[in-house]
Each structure stands twice: as structure tokens, then as C-alpha cells.
Chains A and B, each alone.
Chain A
Amino acid sequence: MTVSSVVVVGGGIAGVSTVAELRKNGYAGELTLLTIDPFPYDRPPLSKDYLLGAKDLESIALQAPEWYSEQRIDLVPGLVVALDPAAGTVTLSDGLELSADRIVLATGGHSLWPDVERVVTERLDRPPAGLGIPRSTTGIHTLRSAEDADALRHVLLPGARLLVVGAGLIGAEVASTARKLGSEVVLVDPADPPIAAAVGTQVAAWLHSLHAVHGVEAVTATVEKLESTRAGVVAHIAGETEPRTFDAVLLAVGMAPDTAVAKAAGLEVDNGVVVDDHQVTTHPKVLAVGDCSRRRGHRRAEHWEAAVHDGQRAARTILGIDPPAETVHWFWTDRYGLHVEVVGEMRSPDGDHQTVVRGVVGEPPFSVFTLRGERVIGAVAVDDPNAVRAARRMIDRGVDVRASDLADPAKNLRSLLRG
């Protein structure tokens, strides 16, 4: 059957990549993109330049406004509350029903709450309505949307006291941005160092040490209790005798996929809407991409580029054309003016790997490679992005390299790639 109508649910990077790839490959049928946002925008800047105020929402749009009409994409505002896979319909919160030959779920996710006791003893003062100031009632924030970032930015004034719970990518980025805005920051995470699995222990420890260098108090602990009071949020940090009071708290302990609609529709859900290698869910008319989905037999990828590739794969599945080439996962993060990129795995599952440093850890630019035998399986680079670009190609192409060559900054990585 030729597909002549597609509805994509969700206007994040996965949804937009899906519709873009459909049109790029000649899909001429009806195409609808449903979004709960004012328009599709890019999320990585929300913890960086957007939070800082250096970029506004228009400047982080994923596509120019006219792109949607040029590409004949119906950009429809709305929240999907129900899905009927067999009928090929979705129902919006306002009762509108849309039907299509294929439905692509790109619903993203929401911030997790850590296991803390949360008590609201008194509601905080709210700014009066109508001033255009986002109104947080509890002083406790999460960060997934531009609205979340707006609410957080309004409290990140010079001298404001911010508690960041979770020192992963987003927690560390917000800590860095908050310092730039002049806020006082306490960053709490039970892991020491955080993100060791993603970037390797050595780099993780150095990256974490930068918080103190930039005036952030990094505490290795959990938060046991948060109380919203008129004076601020009172936080009970494990191991501390006295609670501390903050103007705002950011919970940055990870995300959970938005799967409620898929689950209610009877699709298989297991830490994400389960999809096959073609992004198809357990119903052939419904596909899922990005943060809301998980490929069977894989970990759920939560990175920007993985969402792009999901969307491209889904579009090609719908059109019956070959999927894009598989590539190892890649992400970046920015903190304190440093650009960090990571590709692949910094640890092998059985621990049988070798770590090779190119340059000096702590003196950017440098990079660290993980080798298994003569094959690179992962790399992290600080202010040396082309090292990661080379590593990615070494991994994707299965190029054999010698550890001594990788460790020698005089050896051109590109020439190693040529073998």
C-alpha cells in the first residue's frame, strides 16, 4: 500500500527530522506535525545560551517559519491524548481527531523526580499574573522546555541561591550558566565523579573538579527532603546537620519517556515505546522515534543526534527505502566555555579495554580514546572535536589503529584513518 498521509506527534528534533526526511526523499502525500510548543525549537540551548538570555526562542527554531509551508507540512498545535493504531487515528485534547496511513510518535519525555521527600508547607509568593513572568509556586524546577527555562531564568539573578540536584550533563550545564548569571550554586550528586560511565573516570573527575574552580559548591550526597516555604526551598542534604535554604532548586536527575498514549493504545512499552530496527512499534501503522522510543535490544538513547537518526530511519521505513548507515552514538556538552564531545563507549562491558590519552587530561585541547585490541570503541575530546570525528570514523569503519599512534599528537588522526 502506498502511504498517502502521515501524522507525526511531537515537534522536537525527532519529529522535525522525520518530516524533513520524508520530503527530502520525495514523499508527496499529506504531512501533519503536531506540537505542544509554539513552534518546533532546538532543546540543547535551553541549558546554555537560551537560559543565559543570549538567544531567544526564534533564534533556536529548528526550521524557519516559512519552511513548513514550503515543505507542505501542516504544523498543528495540539496535545494528543489518545491513539487508535488499527484505525490510524489520534485524538487531541480539544477533541479533534486526525487519521493517517502512518502515525509517528515523537512525544519525547519528561524530567524525572529524584527520590526525595517533598513538602509544601507554604506556597511561595507568585508574581502577579499578566506581567509575563513565569510563575513558579514551589521554587522547584525541572528543565525540558523553553517554558521551564524561562521560569528558571527569572530566578537566576545575581546572588540568587540555586540548588542543582544531579550533576549530569544538564545539571552541570545549568550550574555553569547560573554562575555566568552571577547566582550562587550548590550542586549535589551522590556519584563521585558523575558521568564516569559516559566519559570515563579520568575525564569525569577533571570535568567535575571544574565546578569548584568556577565557584560552584559541589557536594557528593543525596537530597533527602525539599520543603517549599515562604523563605525559599529548604533542602535537607544527606550528611549535613542543618538544612539549607535556596531561592530555587533544579531537579536534573534524568528523564523518562512519554509513553502514556502508546501504552493505553496497547503498544509494547518497556522503558520507552519499543520499536524494531526500522522504528516500527508493535503495530505496523505506528512508528516511534527519539526520546519516547527504545529500539529492542538497545539502551534508550537520549541524545540529540540519535533522535535525528531515528527520524530519518522512520521516514525511510515509511517510504520503503534503505535506512541511513548505522553510526556509533555521539553527543556534546558545554560547560565553563569548554566544548566536550563523546562518541561510542568509554568502557567495554567486560572491562577488556585500554585507555589512551592524546595530550594531557586537564589541559585542553586533549582527547582520550578507548581501545579494545586495535579497535577504537569510544573517544572523548575537550576542545578537540576533530579527534572525535576521526574516532567516529575509526569505529564505524572498523579501522585498526595502534595505541602509540593515537597517543602521539604529532600523528595526524586522519592519516591513521586511511590505514
Chain B
Amino acid sequence: MTGNSGNGGNSSGIRVASLDDIPEGEGIAISSKITGTEDDIAILRDDDGTCWALNDTCTHETASLAEGWVEDGDVECPLHSSRFNLKTGKVDGLPATVDTVPHRVEVRDGEIYLFPGERP
């Protein structure tokens, strides 16, 4: 589990983007300098409009999941198409074999708040 020392357990989360900043089916990466976690965190918007957050680096090879294809509850890695479940971080498709880490996000008044290190 990644730490959340950078935000000191901020109970209202870190405001990372407006919902309008992320088109459905796409994502953005939030730097670890902001999240205080080991890895950057990808904020991913499913094609149904919901928002999710996972560690950004694919567990298979170095690629940013924020640049992946988001659809039907999964994100597909831009490099070798490993698929991860948006909600749980579990591998839904090879070649990745190691699950990634999900983080909790909340949308309030059109703004996306991230809770690094908290399970969704």
C-alpha cells in the first residue's frame, strides 16, 4: 500500500481536476509530488462518466495508465493492452499479472477530489 504522507490524511481529499477536464473514456496523471504517494496516480473517467483512480504506472512495463483506453469498467494499458479493473485495480487481462492499487475519488460540485492511499 502506498503512503499518504503528502496530504496528511486530508479528510476532504485533494482537488485534482474539474470533471470537465477529463473526457469520458480518458484519464489524466496526477504527479506523486501532489499525491504524496510512491507512484503518480491516474484519474480515469469511464465511458459512463464515473471517475476512478489507480496507480499510474502499469505493473507490467513502464507505461502511464492515464494514457490508456478507458471503457466498461477497465483501463487498457497503452503499451501492451493489459487491462485493470477501475474499481479494484485487479488485472482483467494479460500480460500484466500483478494487480495495481486503487484510490478513492469523490466528485463534488463538478470537482474531482482524490484520497491517496484510501481504498475506494
Q: Are A and B a genuine interacting pair, yes or no? A: yes
Cβ-closest chain B residue relative to A332: B80
CA distance A17 to B94 in the complex (A): 9
For residue A63, which residues in chain B have a CB less than 8 angstroms away from its CB? 97
Given A389-B69, A414-B23, A414-B25, does the pair A67, B80 have CB atoms closer than 8 Å? Answer: no
Contact string, A372-389, partner B, CB cutoff 8 A, digits 1/0? 000000000000011001
Cα(A308)–Cα(B79), bound, Å: 17
User: Does B56 lie at the interface of the complex (its beta carbon under 8 Å from any beta carbon of A)?
Assistant: no
With A386-B67, A386-B78: A308-B94 Cβ-Cβ less than 8 Å: yes
* Chain B interface, DSSP helix/strand/loop, else mixed: loop
Chain B proximity of A89: nearest CB distance (Å)? 30
- B106 CB within 8 Å of chain A: no
Whether, in the assembled complex, A133 has its beta carbon less than 8 Å from a beta carbon of chain B, the answer is no
Interface string of A318-349 (1 = CB under 8 A from B): 00000000000010100000010000000000
Distance in angstroms from A25 CB to nearest chain B CB is 14
Majority-rule SS of A interface residues: helix
With A17-B94, A42-B95 as known contacts, state yes or no: A385 contacts B78, CB within 8 Å.
Answer: yes
B69 and A386 within 8 A (CB): yes
B94 proximity list for chain A (CB < 8 A): 13, 17, 20, 62, 308
B79 touches A64 (CB 8 A): no
- Is there contact, CB below 8 Å, between A330 and B81? yes
Give A13 to B25 CA distance when docked, in angstroms.
29
When distances are taken between beta carbons in the complex, the residues of chain B under 8 Å from A305 are 81
Interface flag for A412 (CB, 8 Å): yes
Q: A386-B67, A386-B69, A389-B69 are in contact. Are A339 and B79 (CB under 8 A)?
A: yes
Residues of A within 8 A of B40 (CB): none
Identity of the chain A residue whose Cβ is nearest the Cβ of B94 in the assembled complex: A308
Per-residue interface assignment for chain A, residues 356 to 400, with 1 indicating a CB less than 8 Å from any chain B CB and 0 otherwise: 000000000000000000000000000001100110000000000
What sequence of 0s and 1s flags, for each residue 78-91 of chain B, a beta carbon within 8 Å of any chain A beta carbon?
Answer: 11110000000000
Contacts of B25 in A (CB 8 A): 414
Name the CB-closest residue of A to B77. Answer: A385
Q: Quick check: is B46 within 8 A (CB to CB) of the other chain?
A: no
Digit string of A281-309 for contact with B (CB within 8 Å is 1, else 0)?
Answer: 00000000000000000000000110010
One of A17, A385, A412 near B79 (C-beta < 8 A) = A385
Rounded to whole Å, the gap between the CB of A312 and the closest CB of chain B is 10
Task: Give chain A residues whose Cβ lies under 8 Å from the Cβ of B69.
Answer: 386, 389-390
Chain B neighbourhood of A412, CB < 8 A: 23
CB nearest to A339 among chain B residues: B79
Question: B residues 46-96 with Cβ under 8 Å of A?
Answer: 61, 67-69, 76, 78-81, 94-95
Using known A-B contacts A386-B67, A389-B69, A414-B25, determine if residue A62 contacts B78 with beta carbons closer than 8 Å: no
Q: Give the CA-CA distance A47 to B80 in the complex, in Å.
A: 15
Once the chains are docked, how many angstroms separate the CA of A63 from the CA of B78? 21
Q: Which residues of B contact A414 (CB under 8 A)?
A: 23, 25-26
B104 to chain A, nearest CB (A): 26
Whole-angstrom CA separation of A33 from B108 in the bound complex: 50
Q: Cβ of A13: which chain B residues have Cβ within 8 Å of it?
A: 94
Q: Please report which residues of chain B, range 17-32, place their CB below 8 angstroms from some CB of chain A when the two chains form the complex.
A: 23, 25-26
Give the shortest distance, in Å, between A410 (CB) and chain B (any CB): 14
Encode contact with B along A273-285: 1 for CB under 8 Å, 0 otherwise: 0000000000000
Question: Which residues of the other chain, B, contact A339 by a CB distance below 8 angstroms?
Answer: 79
List of A residues within 8 angstroms of B61 by Cβ: 49
Please pick, from A49, A67, A389, the residue contacting B97 in the complex, using a CB distance under 8 A.
A67
* B-side contacts of A17, CB under 8 Å: 94
- A315 CB to nearest chain B CB (Å): 14
A1-27 vs B, CB cutoff 8 Å, 1 = contact: the mask equals 000000000000100010010000000
Q: Which residues in window 19-50 of A have CB below 8 A to B? A: 20, 42, 44, 49
Complex Cα distance, B62 from A288, in Å, reads 33
Please indicate the chain B residues that have their CB under 8 angstroms from the CB of A385 in the complex.
78-79
Chain B: which residue is nearest A414 at the CB level?
Answer: B25
Residue numbers in A under 8 Å from B98 (CB-CB): 64
A416 vs B67: C-alpha distance in the bound complex, in angstroms? 19
Q: How far is it, in angstroms, between the C-alpha of A389 and the C-alpha of B74 when the chains are bound?
A: 13
- B95 contact set on A, CB distance < 8 A: 42, 44, 62, 304
Min CB distance A416 to B, Å, is 12
Q: How far is the CA of A304 from the CA of B97 in the complex (A)?
A: 15
| 20 pairs from A and B in contact (CB 8 Å cutoff) | A17-B94, A20-B94, A44-B95, A49-B61, A61-B97, A62-B97, A63-B97, A64-B97, A304-B95, A305-B81, A308-B94, A386-B67, A386-B69, A386-B78, A389-B76, A390-B69, A412-B23, A414-B23, A414-B25, A414-B26
What residues make up the interface of B, taking CB atoms closer than 8 Å to A?
Answer: 23, 25-26, 61, 67-69, 76, 78-81, 94-95, 97-98
Starting from the known contacts A13-B94, A42-B95, A386-B69, 7 additional A-B residue pairs (CB-CB under 8 Å) come to A63-B97, A64-B98, A330-B81, A385-B79, A389-B76, A389-B81, A414-B26
The 3 closest A-B pairs by CB, nearest first: A389-B69, A385-B78, A414-B25
